Amino acid sequence: MRTFSPSDFCKESQLNAFNPQSWLQVERGKLSKLSSQHFASSSIGSLIKVPEPPLLPYYRPVDYVEVLAQIHEELESCPVQEKSSLYLLQFQVFRGLGEAKLMRRSLRKAWQKASTVHEKFVFGAWLKYEKQGEEVITDLLSNCDKCAQEFGPVDIASELQNDTNVGSHEPVPMSGDQILRHVVFRIGEEKIVCDRQKIAALSAPFCAMLNGCFMESRSENIDLSENKITPSGMRIISEFSLTGNLNEVPPNLLLEILVFANKFCCERLKDACDRKLASLVSSREDAVELMEYAIRENSPVLAASCLQVFLRELPDCLNDNEVVEIFINADKQKRSIMVGAAPFSLYCLLSEVAMNLDPRSDKTVCFLEQLVDSAETDRQKMLAFHQLGCVRFLRKEYDKAEHLFEAAVNAGHRYSIAGLARVGFIKGHKLWCYEKLSNVISSVTPLGWMYQERSLYCEVDKRWEDLEKATELDPTLTYPYMYRAASLMMEQNAEAALAEINRVLGFKLALECLELRFCFYLALEQYQSAMCDVQAILTLSPDYRMFEGRVAASQLRTLVREHIESWTTADCWLQLYDRWSSVDDIGSLSVIYQMLESDAPKGVLYFRQSLLLLRLNCPEAAMRSLQLARHHAPSDHERLVYEGWILYDTGHCEEGLRKAEESIQIKRSFEAFFLKAYALADSSQDSSSSSTVISLLEDALTCPSDRLRKGQALNNLGSVYVDRGNLDLAADCYVNALKIRHTRAHQGLARVHFMRNDKAGAYAEMTKLIEKARSNASAYEKRSEYCDRELTKADLEMVTRLDPLRGYPYRYRAAVLMDSRKEKEAIAELSRAIAFKADIHLLHLRAAFHEHMGDESGALQDCRAALSVDPNDQEMLELHSRVYSYEP
């Protein structure tokens, strides 16, 4: 999902940070000669700085489960016109949780449930904006039925129905000799003969003028010279009065007639002009020019058409001052003309895009002010006030920020108290800030961010305690690890500092943590390790800037490279093989980055890079690498394979399968057979397809490839054999995979041992994997299945220490507590994970526990929240239906 970087909201807090220039100016070769003692004493303090945690401009309720459940309940019974707004709120909740996939799904639901054309094109434009960089997928699907542009332009003229009563106006009866069939309108020197009654039928004013008590009703000639209509325009109006149609009319005349129609209340004529002009809007320039007329003449179809053009050009159109002026100068009436009843959704989108471009900019402020002005419900107000408060804070407009944070808190947003505390601290009220956060902690079930925020106003000894509590409640917060690691490094305890920062990097590949570890390695003069981290950073974010954004990561890499030995292409392949085999994914990424500078084939390297990034849960970076693989493919058959993976990874399995088949028709290759086997195994639920998958993997193994990929194919083949009950064949595959150092094959071999009733052998096999793998949380989790309860508990405790995001250990421990009739402890075990992870399995189990304990309301709340995470989970739907039936 495309969201602005939270780091933008903390850069101002990094005072006296490291000045890279002093290091950048070191002569080539000199840095390595600096003594460790000199570096430690003079440079560590300036090199290692941890910024304050960012103040996030997100909606962050204290109990997101309760809010999601409320939204779900409201969606079940609300009028259709409210559904899109509720899905937008759901989107905001998921954004606060950092759930990118769920955010996009909520946004799609808001688009699907749009009840007005304005909501349809606003959310369609938002989804189009979010899918920037994915145009290649649309291209690949261009010949498929499902490729019809689902977020394409809306035909506004056909969907925005005319809701005004524009029926003809009946003529006033007149005596026979008084009736004049024609009327002549004089405009300058020209005369236009019109049908009196047809013109009278255009509007009430014309009807009164031509058939009422006015002098014109008995006059055959009427002077319209002062009414800003040309003879050509009047002739078109006369024709329209007869036919009801506007045929080929130049835009300048349409505008003239629109103004005239609005002045004389000719609703049918105005509506026809409105729609005709709307059909002519084809560019941003057209839209800028015509929007002025649309707003002035209250022409909703034209205004909506212009707005749609602007939104479909996001973010580029926000660099156009004329477009920005239209958005920021719109009052309530103008917003209504432009976007109907969807101004809040519109300015949510515009604010999001503006913050991505520059959160400190004037236009960001103006859009957020419009968002505040458009907010109607308390939920909308708390989000708008908080976001504007964050931007004001970033701009050092502290008094305004304080006022906005107070408004957000009053509307019910507890997280905005963090903003109030930041402002209070700047104003010198440190004790007040501490007490403010303490009051929050004591008044609700505390969350990790509350202790993290309070730590900023503690003395050093208390700060460490609060940050330990923050990590206990929310291990996904990176600041506590960074603070502790930096503190240990300043105390010359490098081993403990690296261990602390590695804790978080073991399950969350955060750029700011990689940057800090890079600084540690620089301070320790471990340049090879520093190079590894900076290359991983550049893989994830090629334009990343370090040290408060003052120096490009690529520039630092260039300097570090002067202090390490160069590797040949052969060296690189050996390094990649070693690191891949030891499940060192960050190290593997670094080696591939280095190899991409050589003459090695780039297509296959970018493909390997994408596999690693997927394993590290970096899907956007993985897709970028996969597209680069396609771009650098040296042959059609290789390009087709990468296109197949692009389609498969974006949910188009059948299309990916066809790409694999096309590639095989050109040339039999390992990757084409592997892709076909993988896609077929995933797409077909028919057990008979396993024979085909086996055949395809065997074909893949007969084709040339390196041992890294052949090990994966053998591992997959072993899994298919296990599923079919062919344990001997499976074991052979796993053993052969291990011979070429495919370390993960230990897990498959352990499964074979277990199915042969050799539990001890399975445990021993998983122990080998744990010993070899650099990243081994999943191995501990799997080994826990092959031992007694006490060892299982120990392994799962280790899993939670290594990767607290894995849900199974919490569920296991909760189930054990429930079996021991410790219901409250079981609920608490699940709740501590649910607090920072919106996981359907955790919510499902807690709902079942609540049901078992007779707490129907608690069960129903968890059911509704879980169905917000996955609306189609069948077991959850059944539990929800059963619990719902208990409600009185």
**How do residues 667-692 score in pLDDT, each as one tens digit?**
999 999 999 999 998 887 677 789 99
What distance in Å separates the CA atoms of residue 339 and residue 304, rounded to the nearest whole number? 6
Q: Assign 342 to helix, strand or coil.
A: coil
What distance in Å separates the CA atoms of residue 282 and residue 306, rounded to the nearest whole number? 9
Given a cut of 80, whether residue 594 has pLDDT beyond it is yes
What pLDDT score was predicted for residue 40?
43
Given a cut of 80, whether residue 268 has pLDDT beyond it is yes
What distance in Å separates the CA atoms of residue 773 and residue 856, rounded to the nearest whole number? 45
Given a cut of 90, whether residue 480 has pLDDT beyond it is yes
Given a cut of 60, whether residue 836 has pLDDT beyond it is yes
CA 187 to each of CA 222, 258, 652: distance values in angstroms, whole numbers, following the listed order = 9, 18, 64
What pLDDT score was predicted for residue 25?
39
What distance in Å separates the CA atoms of residue 307 and residue 188, rounded to the nearest whole number? 38
pLDDT in tens, 308-350: 999 999 999 999 999 999 999 999 999 999 999 999 999 999 9
As a whole number, the mean pLDDT across the chain is 90
Q: What average pLDDT does range 420-442 have in this prediction?
A: 97
Position 38 confidence tier, pLDDT thresholds 50, 70, 90: very low
What pLDDT score was predicted for residue 682?
84
Given a cut of 70, whether residue 37 has pLDDT beyond it is no
What distance in Å separates the CA atoms of residue 498 and residue 521, rounded to the nearest whole number? 9
Position 146 confidence tier, pLDDT thresholds 50, 70, 90: low
Given a cut of 50, whether residue 30 has pLDDT beyond it is no
CA 642 to each of CA 542, 672, 704: distance values in angstroms, whole numbers, following the listed order = 21, 9, 17
| CA 329 from centre of chain | 29
Position 598 confidence tier, pLDDT thresholds 50, 70, 90: confident
| CA 649 from centre of chain | 17
What pLDDT score was predicted for residue 688?
75
What distance in Å separates the CA atoms of residue 40 and residue 625, rounded to the nearest whole number? 38
What are the residues facing 193 on neighbouring strands? Answer: 184
What distance in Å separates the CA atoms of residue 704 and residue 385, rounded to the nearest whole number? 60
Given a cut of 70, whether residue 5 has pLDDT beyond it is no
Given a cut of 70, whether residue 164 has pLDDT beyond it is no
CA angle (846 as vertex; 853, 801 as ends), nearest 5: 130
What pLDDT score was predicted for residue 8?
52
pTM: 0.90
pLDDT in tens, 516-549: 999 999 999 999 999 999 999 999 999 999 988 8
Position 432 confidence tier, pLDDT thresholds 50, 70, 90: very high
**Residue that is written with structure tokens 């296991």 in the block:** 812
Q: Assign 733 to helix, strand or coil.
A: helix
What distance in Å separates the CA atoms of residue 627 and residue 610, rounded to the nearest whole number? 9
pLDDT in tens, 700-745: 999 999 888 999 999 999 999 999 999 999 999 999 999 999 999 9
Position 11 confidence tier, pLDDT thresholds 50, 70, 90: very low
What pLDDT score was predicted for residue 143?
62
What distance in Å separates the CA atoms of residue 615 and residue 24, rounded to the nearest whole number? 34
Q: Is the separation of the CB atoms in 374 and 347 below 8 Å?
A: yes
CA 115 to each of CA 79, 89, 109, 162: distance values in angstroms, whole numbers, following the listed order = 10, 16, 12, 16
Q: What average pLDDT does range 181-205 have in this prediction?
A: 92
Q: What are phi and psi of 50, to 5 degrees?
A: -110, 115
What are the residues facing 190 on neighbouring strands? Answer: 187
Find the helix or strand (DSSP H, E) in which 605 lies. Answer: helix 602-615
What pLDDT score was predicted for residue 216?
74
Say whether the peptide bond before residue 315 is cis (omega within 30 degrees of 0): yes
Position 45 confidence tier, pLDDT thresholds 50, 70, 90: low
Q: Is the separation of the CB atoms in 303 and 311 below 8 Å?
A: no
Q: What average pLDDT does range 813-836 have in this prediction?
A: 97
What distance in Å separates the CA atoms of residue 683 and residue 654, rounded to the nearest whole number? 7
Give, to the nearest 10 degrees, the angle between helix 856-869 and helix 840-852. 160
Token pair for 455:
């730590």
Position 171 confidence tier, pLDDT thresholds 50, 70, 90: low
pLDDT in tens, 348-373: 999 999 999 999 999 999 999 999 99
Q: What average pLDDT does range 857-866 have in this prediction?
A: 97
- Of the chain, the percentage scoring pLDDT greater than 70 comes to 91
pLDDT in tens, 63-96: 999 999 999 999 999 999 999 999 999 999 999 9
Cβ contacts of 275 within 8 Å, gap of 6 or more: 157, 301, 302
What number of residues does the chain have?
888
pLDDT in tens, 600-646: 899 999 999 999 999 999 999 999 999 999 999 999 999 999 999 99
User: Which pairing describes strands 182-187 and 221-223: parallel, antiparallel, or unpaired?
Assistant: parallel
Q: Counting beta carbons within 10 angstroms of the beta carbon of residue 343, is it exposed (0 to 12), middle (13 to 18) or buried (19 or more)?
A: buried
pLDDT in tens, 370-417: 999 999 999 999 999 999 999 999 999 999 999 999 999 999 999 999
Given a cut of 50, whether residue 165 has pLDDT beyond it is no
- Return the sign of the alpha-carbon dihedral for residues 729, 732, 734, 736: negative
Position 885 confidence tier, pLDDT thresholds 50, 70, 90: confident
Q: Is the separation of the CB atoms in 607 and 675 below 8 Å?
A: no
Given a cut of 50, whether residue 32 has pLDDT beyond it is no
**SS3 for 553-602, per residue?**
HHHHHHHHHCCCCCCCHHHHHHHHHHHHHCCCHHHHHHHHHHHCCCCCCH
Amino acid identity, position 150: E
Find the helix or strand (DSSP H, E) in which 546 lies. Answer: strand 545-546
What distance in Å separates the CA atoms of residue 841 and residue 731, rounded to the nearest whole number? 32
